[in-house]
Chain A
Amino acid sequence: GESVGLHLPTLSVQEGDNSIINCAYSNSASDYFIWYKQESGKGPQFIIDIRSNMDKRQGQRVTVLLNKTVKHLSLQIAATQPGDSAVYFCAALDSARQLTFGSGTQLTVLP
C-alpha cells in the first residue's frame, strides 16, 4: 500500500543475504517500469528497467520481476552489500515519458 509522510516501508537484511523489494502499481498503460536507488542527500539513480511486455529482466546482482496480472513489481538484490543501503523507488514510465514514482522502501543492510 501507499505510505504517507515520514513512514517509509523498511527492510533490513543481513549482509550477504538476498533482498526483495516490492512495489504495486495502478496504471496498466505504463510502457516501462524502472527501479531507482536514492542514497542520502543524492538524486535517484537508475538501477534497472523492464518493458511492460516482459516478465523478468536481470542485471548485475539485480533482477526485476513484473506480474501484470496483479500489477506487482519486485526488485531482487543478490548478496546484498552495505553499499546497497538506500531508499529504493519503483517508477512507471508512461507514453508521455513521465515518471511516476512510488513511495519508496528504505533498505538497511546489517553487518
Chain B
Amino acid sequence: EPEVTQTPSHQVTQMGQEVILRCVPISNHLYFYWYRQILGQKVEFLVSFYNNEISEKSEIFDDQFSVERPDGSNFTLKIRSTKLEDSAMYFCASSDLRTMNTEAFFGQGTRLTVV
C-alpha cells in the first residue's frame, strides 16, 4: 500500500537554529500539505502546495516557514529560526483530488523539539 514517509521521526534542535523536515508524498498525488499538532491539541493546517507553488497557507505559516519540492519526489518544510513554541508534531500529507477523492494520506509525523 502506498504511504507518505517522513524523516526524521524525531528532531531536537536549539532555539534559533534552522530545521528542515522532509517528506516523500505518494508518487501520483498532486496536492501536498503540512500540518502541525502541538501535544494534546488538534491538528492545524500550515500550508498546501500544488503545481509547484503554495496554494494556501495559514496564519501560523509566517516568514520563518518555507516549503519546497526540490525534485520529483521530496517535499520539505523549513523553519529558519526555530522558537520554543515551534515544538510539535509535524505531519506531511498528500492527496489526489483530480477525481474528488477527499482522502488525504498522512505520514507518521516528525516530532520537533526545540530546546
Contacts and interface: CB of A to CB of B under 8 A. Distances in A.
Contacts of A89: 42-43
Contacts of A49: 102-103
A100 B104 CA distance: 12
A96 B105 contact: no
Contacts, number: 64
B40 A8 contact: yes
B15 interface: no
A6 B104 contact: no
Interface stretch (A12-20, A60-68, A71-79, A101-109): A101-109
Given A6-B40, A96-B56, A44 B102 contact: no
A96 B31 CA distance: 11
Nearest to A31: B102
Given A43-B106, A45-B106, A97-B48, A103 B56 contact: no
Interface of A: 4-6, 8, 32, 34, 36, 38, 41-46, 49, 89, 91, 93, 96-104
24 contacts: A5-B40, A5-B41, A8-B40, A36-B106, A43-B4, A43-B91, A43-B106, A43-B107, A43-B108, A44-B43, A44-B106, A46-B103, A89-B43, A91-B43, A93-B102, A96-B55, A97-B31, A97-B50, A97-B55, A97-B95, A98-B48, A99-B33, A101-B45, A103-B42
B50, B103, B105 — most chain A CB neighbours (10 Å): B103
B45 A99 contact: yes
B37 to A, nearest CB: 9
A86 to B, nearest CB: 13
B83 to A, nearest CB: 19
B68 interface: no
A49 B103 CA distance: 8
A42 B109 CA distance: 7
B12 interface: no
Identify the 6 closest CB pairs spanning chains A and B, nearest first: A43-B106, A6-B40, A101-B43, A46-B103, A49-B102, A32-B102
Nearest to A7: B40
